[in-house]
Amino acid sequence: MTTATLASADELLTDRRVPPLGGFNLTMLGIELRRILRNRRTLIFTLIFPATMFLAFGTGTGTAERIGDGNVSAYVMVSMGLYAAALTAAASGAMVAVERSLGWSRQLRLTPLNPVAYVSTKAIVALVSGAMAIAMVNLTGAVQGLPQMPASTWLACGVVTLVCTLTFAALGVFIGYLVPSENVMQILGPGLAVLSFLGGVFIPLEHGSGIWHVAVWTPMYGVAEVARAPLTGELTWYAVANAVVWFVLFVAGAAWRMARDTARV
C-alpha cells in the first residue's frame, strides 16, 4: 500500500472536479458489455436460438422462391434477426429495473453519474447487443448460403432492424418495472415468442385471413414489416403506424414506471 498517493488534509478539499459527460465513459460501457457476453442464458437465447430458428425455417423447400429483391430464405433471415435483436434489447432493458430492485441504482446515486448518462449507456448496450444478435443470424445465413439479396438491401435490413429493437428495449424496461425480479426474462422470452408468431415473424401471415386481422394490432407486426421493407419493397401505412404507436406506448410505459420508481429512491 502506498500512502504517498493519498491526498493530504488540504488536498482533500482542492482539485474537486465534476466528471465530463455526466460520468459517461468507456470503462463503464465496456464492463456493461462484458456482463452481457458473460451471461450464458442470454447468449443462448439471443445468439444461438435465433440462428437455429433460421436454419429450421429458412432453409426448407420453397425458400429459394423470389420475394422482392431477394428470396424467401433472406426474408426468414431478416425476421429471425429482428426476433433475436428484440429479445436481446428487451433483456438489456429489463436489467435497468432489476438493478434498481437490487439497490445498485441507489449505489450509483452516491457517484457523480448522471441519470441521463446511465440511461444512455444502457441504450448503447441494448443497441450493441442487438447488433451482435442481428450479425449472428446474418452470419449464419451468409455461411449457409441460401439467403439471397443485394448487399445494399442486406445492409439496409440490418440497420432498420436495429432501429426497431429500441421499441423492445423500452418494453424490457417497462416489463422489468412491472415484474422486478431477475427472472423477468422468463416472461419476456415466451412473451416475445408469442408476439413474434402473431406478428408474422416466424410464419408469414396470409393477407386478409382471420389471424391477420388480429396480427396487425400486435407490436411485432409493424416492426417486422418495416424491417423487411428494404427486401420486399412494400410497406403499408398501417404497418408504419403500428410500429410508431407501439414504440410510443412502450417508451411512455417505461417512463411512467421509472418516474414512479424514482420517487422512492
Partner 1 sequence: MSIQTTVSTPADPRHCAPPSAVRLSAVTKDFGDVHAVRGIDLDISPGEVVAVLGPNGAGKTTTIDMVLGLTQPTSGHVEVHGMGPREAVSHGLVAAVMQTGGLLKDLSVRETLQYTASLFARTTTVDEVLAVAGITEIADRKVAKCSGGEQQRLRFAMALLPDPALLLLDEPTTGMDVEGRRAFWAAIRRDAQRGRTVIFATHYLEEADQYADRIVLVSRGRVVADGTGAEVKALASGRVVRASLPEPDPARLRGLPGVDAVELRGDQVLVHTTDSDAVARYLLCETGAHDLEITSQGLEDAFLNLTGAQDQTEGAQR
What H or E segment, with its residue span, contains residue 70? strand 70-71
Q: How far is the CB of 159 from partner 1 (least distance, A)?
A: 30
Sequence-separated (6 or more) residues with CB below 8 Å from residue 20: none
Q: Which residue bears the cell 429500441?
A: 166
Distance between CA atoms of 202 and 224, rounded to whole angstroms?
10
Q: How many residues bind partner 1 (CB under 8 A)?
A: 39
Decide: is 102 part of the binding site for partner 1 (CB under 8 A). yes
Which grid coordinates are listed for 67? Answer: 420475394
SS3 71: strand
Instruction: Out of 48, 60, 64, 104, point to the residue binding partner 1 (CB under 8 A).
Output: 104
Q: How far is the CB of 109 from partner 1 (least distance, A)?
A: 6
How distant is the alpha carbon of residue 160 from its chain centre?
12
Q: Specify the residue, 151 or 263, whose C-beta has the smaller distance to partner 1.
A: 263
Measured from the Cβ of residue 222, the count of other Cβ atoms closer than 10 Å reads: 25
Measured from the Cβ of residue 138, the count of other Cβ atoms closer than 10 Å reads: 24
Q: Which residue bears the cell 423477468?
A: 184
Considering only residues 155 to 194 of the shown chain, the ones binding partner 1 according to CB under 8 A are none
Considering only residues 16 to 35 of the shown chain, the ones binding partner 1 according to CB under 8 A are 16-20, 23, 25, 27-28, 31, 34-35
Contact 89/165 with Cβ under 8 angstroms?
yes
How distant is the alpha carbon of residue 134 from its chain centre?
10
Decide: is 143 part of the binding site for partner 1 (CB under 8 A). no
Considering only residues 38 to 57 of the shown chain, the ones binding partner 1 according to CB under 8 A are 38-39
Q: How far is the CB of 22 from partner 1 (least distance, A)?
A: 9
Decide: is 61 part of the binding site for partner 1 (CB under 8 A). no
Decide: is 132 part of the binding site for partner 1 (CB under 8 A). no
Q: Specify the residue, 27 or 61, whose C-beta has the smaller distance to partner 1.
A: 27
Q: Which residues bind partner 1 (CB under 8 A)?
A: 1-2, 5-10, 12-13, 15-20, 23, 25, 27-28, 31, 34-35, 38-39, 99, 102-113, 265
